[in-house]
């Protein structure tokens, strides 16, 4: 619970600028200056499926459940997908996460700055 800002801070301190996650493929891209690392993921769907309609209300509900530690990461990805999100991007410099729908819908949140115990 509440671990995302700590992970984000670790990545920021190691020089990562942003991370993009693509649903439903599960692929993620980590941007480290000019270098980009591509991490293949597990697909969320395995057959032809209609794309869910964007719902900011469903997305916020999914975010709050995840932030409260009520979901696993896979459940978070599925509920994010079900709210009509095609990808999301974490900006480690600005400490924000932007969620994007298929038709250019966007929802953006800031996350708290944290200090790491060394």
Domain assignments of the chain as residue spans, ordered by start:
4-107
Domain 4-107 class, CATH top level = alpha beta
Asked whether the predicted pLDDT for residue 1 surpasses 50, the reply is no
Query: In angstroms, rounded to a whole number, what is the distance separating the alpha carbons of residues 79 and 9?
Result: 25
pTM of the model: 0.91
Other beta carbons within 10 angstroms of residue 26's beta carbon come to 17
Closest alpha carbon to 94 in 7, 3, 8: 8
Token pair listed for 104: 């250019």
Token pair listed for 71: 């979901």
Query: In angstroms, rounded to a whole number, what is the distance separating the alpha carbons of residues 68 and 50?
Result: 29
32-61 per-position pLDDT tens digit: 988 999 999 999 999 999 999 999 999 999
Tell me the CA distances in angstroms from 86 to 20, 66, 70, 104, one per residue in order: 11, 18, 22, 10
pLDDT at position 96 is 96
Q: Rounded to 10 degrees, what is the CA torsion of 72, 69, 63, 15?
A: -80
């Amino acid at each position: 619970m509440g671990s995302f800002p700590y992970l984000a801070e670790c990545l920021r301190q190691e020089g990562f600028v942003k991370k993009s996650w693509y649903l439903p493929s599960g692929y993620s891209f980590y941007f480290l200056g000019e270098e980009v690392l591509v991490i293949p993921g597990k697909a969320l769907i395995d057959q032809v499926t209609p794309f869910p309609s964007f719902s900011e209300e469903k997305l916020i509900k999914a975010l709050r459940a995840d932030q409260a530690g009520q979901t696993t990461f896979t459940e978070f990805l599925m509920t994010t997908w079900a709210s009509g999100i095609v990808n999301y991007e974490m900006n480690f410099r600005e400490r924000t996460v932007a969620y994007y729908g298929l038709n250019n819908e966007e929802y953006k949140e800031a996350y708290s700055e944290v200090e790491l115990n060394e």
